[in-house]
Structures are given as C-alpha cells and as structure tokens.
Amino acid sequence: MAAIGRFQKGDEIFYAKVVDGELFRLQGDVFGSPSFDKKATPFKGVKTLTPVAPSKLIAVGLNYADHAREQNKPLPKEPLIWFKAPTSLIPDGGKIEIPFPDHQTEFEGELAIVIGRRARNVTAAAASRYIFGYTASQDISDRTIQRSDGQNARAKSFDTFTPLGPYIETKIDPKELTIQMFQNGQLRQNSNTNQLIFDVYKLVSFISTNLTLLPGDVILTGTPSGVGPIQSGDRLEVRIQGLAPLLNTVK
C-alpha cells in the first residue's frame, strides 16, 4: 500500500489506493490484509472524505521547541495531550467555519499519525508496528476561549476545526519531514519533524500507556512556530514532505 483514501460515491463509502490520479478500490479490512481492484475507478462523481473516521482524536501540545518558545512556555517533561471531538473533522477541500468572528482564531499545521492496530502499553521501539500511516492536519484553535477556559478541548473542538487528509501515506519515514503551512500563498510555518520534542514513536508509546488506541484513531503530533490568525476568505494549505497537500478555505 501507499496513499490510501476514503471516498464516497452516491450512498457508498469506500477506501481506495490512489495511484497517478486514479482510484483502485480496496476489498476487505483496510487495517487488515486487504486486496485492491485491478481496474481503476474514475474520480468523476467521487467525493473525498476524511481518510478515517476515528473513535478518538488526540492532540499533542508544545511538541516543537520553537513553538514552546513562541508561546513563552517551558519545554514539557512529558507529552501534553487532550481530546478533540471527532465531529470537528473535515476533509481536504472542506470549509473551516469561525463560530465567533470577534475571537482570535488561529491555524496550526501538523503531521497526524493514523493507528493501524489495537495498541496498549506499547514501547517506543515497537510503536512503528502499530502505525498505519501519516497524513496532514490542522488544529484550528479559538485562543480567546482557550485562554478563558484554561484548557484546550472546547477551544479546539468546534465543528470544522480539524481538517485532515487528503490521504494516508503508509510508506514514509516520519523522522525528517519538512512541514510547512501557507496562508493565501504566504509561507507562515516552516520546520521539520526532526524538531519534535517527542517523536511519533514516543507519542504512541506514551499515549498507549494511558489509554487504548484502536485502528483508525488519530494523533495530531503538534505544531511548529509561526501560528497565526485566520479570517474569512483565507486559503490555508499544509504541505508535508512525502504527503499530498491539505487545502482548506475559511468562512
């Protein structure tokens, strides 16, 4: 497998491998040992969905040293995690809706982990065996609510606040990937996953010692420095090396 997406045509929802702009439908369990149709399915009339429908959506805070400095906060001694509502997910091409236009609402481009096997008490050394793949994401944040609440869940869980996709890349090394965020074509965030304080394997290990991860669960690994405000009409694009870009607009 390589790039795997989740799609809808009419009332049918299906997974498919994406090869040179064509879809090859998956037969069987996407997290098991699936097979793929040899005949391509045209993209015409097909809607791209979020690449998974997770039972849990977990975010990690202050996981890039430069972002911690940007926030004027000390480096965490262990990963800072919280839950985002899965109802906040939208696919590539979906519109981010700002519920309170008078609030400070900001973008955060992130690499996301997609879990492929049930994971509980997994070591960092074994974590790669439990990861299905990676995709691009955003952790849209209402800073006004975040400051007033003193915690993150509500401020980051509004509908449309988690763009994810478009596809899951199953064959990629996450250790040194360029991660960039563009706002209306202007580069706002520019870093590399080698700057993660806790790498993807440590994150899976840490989280799995606290709760059980299930196939399809998603972990947002944190954002680098350069976060900034968004407003209606913005065009936001996350580009991560080796992954298809994630593009969303704001209204």
Tens-digit pLDDT profile for residues 96-141: 999 999 999 999 999 999 999 999 999 999 999 999 999 999 999 9
Query: Counting beta carbons within 10 angstroms of the beta carbon of residue 221, is it exposed (0 to 12), middle (13 to 18) or buried (19 or more)?
Result: buried
> What does the alpha-carbon distance between residue 34 and residue 21 come to, in Å, rounded to a whole number?
20
Q: What is the pLDDT of residue 96?
A: 98
Residues 6+ apart with CB under 8 A from 135: 51, 112, 114, 164, 165, 166, 167, 168, 169, 243, 246
Residue linked to tokens 């990861």: 131
Tokens of 190: 């520019």
> What does the alpha-carbon distance between residue 52 and residue 216 come to, in Å, rounded to a whole number?
6
Does residue 1 surpass a pLDDT of 80? no
Q: What is the pLDDT of residue 235?
A: 98
> What does the alpha-carbon distance between residue 159 and residue 54 come to, in Å, rounded to a whole number?
15
Q: What percent of the chain has pLDDT over 70?
A: 100
For the beta carbon of residue 66, count every other beta carbon within 10 angstroms.
Answer: 14
> What does the alpha-carbon distance between residue 140 and residue 179 come to, in Å, rounded to a whole number?
16
pLDDT tens profile 29-71: 999 989 999 999 888 899 999 999 999 999 999 999 888 888 8
H-helix segments, the chain: 65-70, 143-149, 200-210
> What does the alpha-carbon distance between residue 233 and residue 13 come to, in Å, rounded to a whole number?
30
Which domains can be identified in the chain, with CATH numbers? 3-48 (2.30.30), 57-250 (3.90.850.10)
pLDDT tens profile 178-188: 999 999 999 99
